[in-house]
Amino acid sequence: MILKHPYYNKLFTFQLFLLAATLPFVQQHPLPVLFFGLVLLLFPWFFLSLKDVAHKTIKISLVFFSLALVLNSYGTLKGLEPGLSLLLLVTLLKSSELATKRDQFIFLLMTVLSLVGHLLNVDQLIYVLYILLMALWMIRLFFSSEGYDERRSQSFRWSTKKSKDLFFIFAIAIPQAVLLFFFFPRFYVGNLSFSGSSPISKVGFIDELNPGDWSKTVEDRTPIFRASFQDGKPSRGGLYWRGAVLQKSLGFRWVVGDVPDDLERWGFFIGRGDIDRRYRVDFDSSFEHRLFTLPFTIRMDLKSHGRVLNTPGSLYQVHSSQSQAPRYEAATSPPWGAFDLSEQEREQYLQVPEVSNRLQRFATDFKSRFSSDQELIQGLLAYYHEQPFVYTLDPGSYLSRYPEDEFFFQRRRGFCEHYASFTGLLLRLWGIPARVVTGFQGGVYNPVGDYFVLRGEDAHAWVEAFTPEEGWTLVDPIRAIAPWRIEYGAEAFFLQLNGLDDPLNSDFEMNPSLWKRTLFTIDSYYYRANLFFTNYREDAQRSFLDYLGLSEFSPVRLLVFVGGIFFAFYLFSLFIYLPKRLPDPAYEMDFKLLKQSLLKAGFEKAPYQSAGHFHRLTEKHLPEHLRDDFSRLVHRYEILKYSSQTTSKSLERDFKKSIQLFIGELTRRG
């Protein structure tokens, strides 16, 4: 029953707007905030039904509760994400008071503000369209919100005229916005104190590997980043994008653990040595702080805002006050060759949890067959290949006391996580220092744009083993079990695995179908446009101006230039809408004729005289037979001029005829 009340209708419309504006970004908020937000969304009438004082008290305490909740969830109030969570909660609280037009307007503005805030995390060209739609909806809501028009009358409702004007506003606003986008001088203000980086990681990887927990991630087809190479397309099989290194084995599970500090050794290579391969990575959205890099990356040039941190395990992270999608150029060196681990490192990388006797026995037996570490590793890969190990995304859960035993000896079903985890453990049992690395592998190559797209489905885990002769070498058991996954990439492999297609038989990438080619082309153009859009800052603007031949322009001159363009635009619009004089209606012209002929006869109508006044003065001097006609004409003229009705054509024609008759009569008599 409550839902039928017009107020709640309005409330739901506004809440729907809020939902539409924030729902796509819901994953950016932690769970407690979302839960509390849901409560506020579902029960605003609970707060409404309270009496005045209680209402205010409860609302103020809810604001404080929101503040505490955000502080508790993020550990800080600084930064974009805590700010957005707080804004979201306060906006939802605001939805419990939408009684006046002012409240509704503020609610809409707060919602749009939080939308823009959320968009800062995605940085995608496509979202410009989204914000445009939302702006359209916002203004539409404001149009129809109660009391929009201060002097509204009953007849004033939403009309086609209004929709036309609404679209007209957008039609003239959008080109202006585009102009401003290109020419408004950009300058970097620097990090203001109230922004801080978010301590919450949102998507993808956590510092732990628990075999089986990625089965959802690898079904995700959202692009994570795109990578292009300067020196031609490398082979996909060699593209391992390292994201996290897990050193501590808890049996089947791996965690980051106590990190051995190898920064000193790594630091020796950074910025020196030969360059093997240069590449560029552009993220689609901000993805924690990890910068995914190829092994032996020694140069890192961050193109987005922030500072690069070198972290243990030869990994890179970005430290930025802005959750901006990272973009960087990097270069790898050839493998570093032989070196030795320190005692402490060796100890860390050989740490093994308690394992079953059966596994221990297997390890000892297997090792005895080979003479060197390299042979041992190759032997293991060969063993994986020969034995009936199955690559599947649906291996079920391993819940026994020794899940690694259940996996290796009994079921032998799993995907990269399972194999990497077990291989790392086995290598350590053999006395080979090993660590599990998570990240991405492969990706889809776009032949049109010459880059790789890495999606969630390309997530991968592998092992790095240490030998004194070669240093850290990559050991990927999947190469032995499902070589197609590595060679053809996850997309093609999963298609084939699901029996949907058999792309492995055809030359999938070099000879794509028309449909695929179209998709590749669209993706390629979008990628380039997006790159231009997101990178359009001081330097990009400068080179754009250079391209246009406006290289002389300083920011101040640019501002004057933009101002000039806008002034010209508005002057132009003024000319377009230049006041056109309303044309004199037909009866005015006819009456003018009458006045002229009377002037000839010696009766002049002064400008201050109304028609009636003129008539009273003139009538008695006219010949008697014309008086009646004259007063009838004046009367008709007054009706035509002052009636609120629109004059009909036939009436005007009649008037004209009688005027002509009258003039004829007047001139005949002299």
Query: 251-310: which residues touch other proteins (CB under 8 A)?
Result: 305
Considering the complex, state which of residue 87 and residue 478 has its C-beta at the smaller distance from other proteins.
87
Q: Closest separation between CB of residue 281 and other proteins, Å?
A: 18
Between 152 and 621, CB nearer to other proteins:
152
Stretch that binds other proteins, among 328-336, 338-346, 513-521, 638-646 (CB under 8 A): 638-646
**∠285-291-296 over CA atoms, to 5°?**
150
User: Closest separation between CB of residue 176 and other proteins, Å?
Assistant: 4
| 533 contributes a contact to other proteins by CB under 8 A | yes
* Binding segment toward other proteins, per CB under 8 A, in 225-233, 248-256, 258-266, 641-649: 641-649
Q: Is residue 649 involved in binding other proteins (CB under 8 A)?
A: no
Main-chain phi, psi angles of 198, to 5 degrees: -85, 135
Nearer to other proteins among residue 54 and residue 529 (C-beta): 529
Task: For other proteins, give the closer residue by CB, 370 or 536.
Answer: 536
Where are the extended beta strands (E) located within 359-457? 390-391, 413-414, 434-441, 444-446, 451-455
Mark 418-445 as b/e (b = at least 16 C-beta within 10 Å): bbbbbbbbbbbbbebbbbbbbbbbbbbb
Phi, psi of 308 (to 5 degrees): -90, 135
- Quick one: which of 112, 111, 77, 116 has its CA closest to 94? 111
List the one residue out of 643, 347, 353, 391 whose CA is nearest residue 496: 391
Applying CB under 8 A, the span of 16-24, 180-188, 355-363, 503-511 interacting with other proteins comes to: 180-188
User: Which residues lie closer than 8 Å to 392 by C-beta, 6 or more apart?
Assistant: 413, 414, 415, 497
Please tell me the number of Cα atoms within 13 Å of 535 on its side-chain side: 20
Beta bridge partners of 301: 329
562 binds other proteins (CB under 8 A): no
Q: Which of 322, 441, 446, 618 binds other proteins (CB under 8 A)?
A: 322
Query: Whole-number minimum distance, CB 455 to other proteins, in Å?
Result: 22
Within positions 52 to 111, which residues make up the interface with other proteins, using CB under 8 A? 80, 101-102, 105-106, 109
Please report whether residue 169 would count as binding other proteins according to CB under 8 A: yes
Q: In 409-504, where do the E strands start and end? A: 413-414, 434-441, 444-446, 451-455, 459-467, 471-475
CA distance 64 to 273: 56
Asked if 390 interacts with other proteins (CB under 8 A), we say no
Using CB under 8 A, pick the residue from 18, 88, 93, 119 that binds other proteins.
119
Which tokens belong to 427? 């290598």
Among the residue ranges 15-23, 270-278, 483-491, 579-587, the one whose residues contact other proteins (CB under 8 A)? 579-587
Give the interface segment with other proteins, choosing from 37-45, 50-58, 200-208, 634-642 (CB under 8 A). 634-642
3-state secondary structure of 277: strand
How far, in Å, CA of 140 to CA of 132, rounded?
A: 12
Single out the residue of 16, 68, 128, 522 in contact with other proteins (rule: CB under 8 A).
128
Closest distance between other proteins and the C-beta of residue 187, in Å? 8
Residues 187-226 that bind other proteins (CB under 8 A): 187-189, 191-192, 195
Q: For Cα atoms 212, 218, 224, give the angle at the middle one, nearest 5 degrees.
A: 135
- Nearer of residues 301 and 665 to other proteins, judged by Cβ: 301
Among 110, 286, 113, 312, residue whose Cα is nearest residue 197: 286
Smallest distance from other proteins to CB 100, Å: 11
Nearer to other proteins, 186 or 221 (CB): 186
Q: Which residue, 8 or 142, has its beta carbon nearer to other proteins? A: 142
Number of residues that bind other proteins (CB under 8 A): 81
Single out the residue of 19, 20, 58, 120 in contact with other proteins (rule: CB under 8 A): 120
Q: Is 646 in the site for other proteins (CB under 8 A)?
A: yes
Give whichever of 323 and 348 is closer to other proteins, judged by the CB atom.
323
List the one residue from 579, 602, 607, 670 that touches other proteins (CB under 8 A): 579
Give min distance, CB of 106 to other proteins, in A: 7
Buried b (16+ CB within 10 A) or exposed e, 506-515: eebbeebeee
Note whether 176 binds other proteins by CB under 8 A.
Answer: yes
Q: Does 25 bind other proteins (CB under 8 A)?
A: no
Helices (H) and strands (E) in the chain, counts: 23, 18
- Residue 515 or 642: the one with the smaller Cβ distance to other proteins is 642
The residue range among 12-20, 227-235, 253-261, 640-648 that interacts with other proteins, by the rule CB under 8 A, is 640-648
Write the CB contacts of 308 (distance below 8 Å, at least 6 apart in sequence): 291, 300, 302, 316, 317, 318, 319, 328
The answer to whether 165 contacts other proteins (rule: CB under 8 A) is yes
Nearer to other proteins, 159 or 344 (CB): 159
Burial class (CB in 10 A: 0-12, 13-18, 19+), 516: middle
Site string for other proteins, 478-507 (x = CB under 8 A): ------------------------------
Beta-ladder partners of 452: 227, 445
- Minimum Å gap between C-beta 192 and other proteins is 5
Q: Crossing angle, helix 6-22 and helix 101-119, to 10 degrees? A: 10
Residue 522 is encoded by which pair of tokens?
């669209």
Among 38, 177, 206, 522, binds other proteins (CB under 8 A): 177
Burial class (CB within 10 angstroms; exposed 0-12, middle 13-18, buried 19+) of 234 = middle
Report 130-149 residues binding other proteins (CB under 8 A): 131-132, 135, 139, 142-143, 148-149
645 binding other proteins? (CB under 8 A): yes
Phi/psi of residue 291, nearest 5 degrees: -110, 115
Tell me the sheet residues that pair with 227.
281, 452
- Please return the burial class of 340, using the count of CB atoms within 10 Å of its CB with bins 0-12, 13-18 and 19+: exposed
Residue 595 in the binding site for other proteins (CB under 8 A): no
**246-261 core/surface letters (b: 16 or more CB in 10 A; e: else):** bbbbbbbbbebbeebe
Is residue 612 part of the contact set for other proteins (CB under 8 A)?
A: yes
Least distance CB 4 / other proteins (angstroms): 28
Residue 181 binds other proteins, judged by CB under 8 A: yes
